[in-house]
């Protein structure tokens, strides 16, 4: 399993509990309703809490459940917060990671569009795994609006 970078929280603000998503309830179900509620509740704190809340979401990448990690990557893409780039890049780079996690992390990087995100997307746009390679293509095309519109895709 690839390890994710650990970000430092701000000392001025209380940091959300990074494991709140992963330890929600006692269910062994990978995405029980409690975990979904915790995931989206934490997402909703990002406007108030900022980076510490993003880092708390990123901590879920340390868990073994690919479905949870996929959902977290999706939420991080919705947020488009630059504090998520390092963890999303690590997910894309991790060869042992499930394809759907890498796919969603790539799309999230395209939504964020920072130089580091675009660099990783370009690097993996030639990857032999089709789901990752094609997700990088889509993310780059979404980022580059002109190329996306020129591709003839209707949205």
CB 78 within 8 A of CB 39: no
pLDDT at res. 11: 41
Segment 1-59, tens digit of pLDDT: 676 554 444 344 444 444 445 444 434 455 677 888 888 899 999 999 999 999 999 99
Segment 77-111, tens digit of pLDDT: 999 999 999 999 999 999 999 999 999 999 999 99
The maximal CA–CA distance of the chain, rounded, in angstroms, is: 50
Q: How far apart are CA 57 and CA 75, in angstroms?
A: 9
Q: What domains are defined for the chain?
A: 33-150 (1.25.10.10)
pLDDT at res. 101: 98
CB 77 within 8 A of CB 51: no
pLDDT at res. 48: 92
pLDDT at res. 31: 60
pLDDT at res. 26: 37
Q: How far apart are CA 50 and CA 114, in angstroms?
A: 17
Give residues with Cβ within 8 angstroms of 154, minimum separation 6: none
pLDDT at res. 65: 87
Structure tokens at 113: 């569009």
Element (H, E) at 140: helix 130-143
């Amino acid at each position: 399993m690839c390890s994710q970078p650990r970000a430092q929280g701000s000392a001025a603000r209380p940091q959300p509990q990074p494991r709140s998503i992963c330890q929600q309830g006692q269910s062994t179900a990978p995405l029980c309703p409690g975990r979904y509620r915790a995931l989206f509740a934490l997402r909703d704190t990002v406007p108030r809490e900022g980076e510490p809340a993003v880092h708390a979401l990123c901590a879920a990448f340390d868990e073994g459940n690919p479905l949870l990690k996929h959902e977290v990557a999706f939420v991080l893409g919705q947020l488009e917060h630059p504090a998520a780039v390092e963890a999303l890049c690590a997910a894309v780079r991790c060869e042992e990671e499930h394809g759907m996690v890498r796919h969603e992390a790539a799309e999230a990087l395209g939504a964020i569009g920072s130089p580091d995100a675009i660099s990783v997307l370009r690097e993996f746009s030639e990857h032999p795994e089709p789901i990752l390679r094609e997700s990088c293509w889509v993310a780059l095309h979404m980022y580059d609006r002109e190329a996306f519109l020129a591709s003839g895709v209707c949205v």
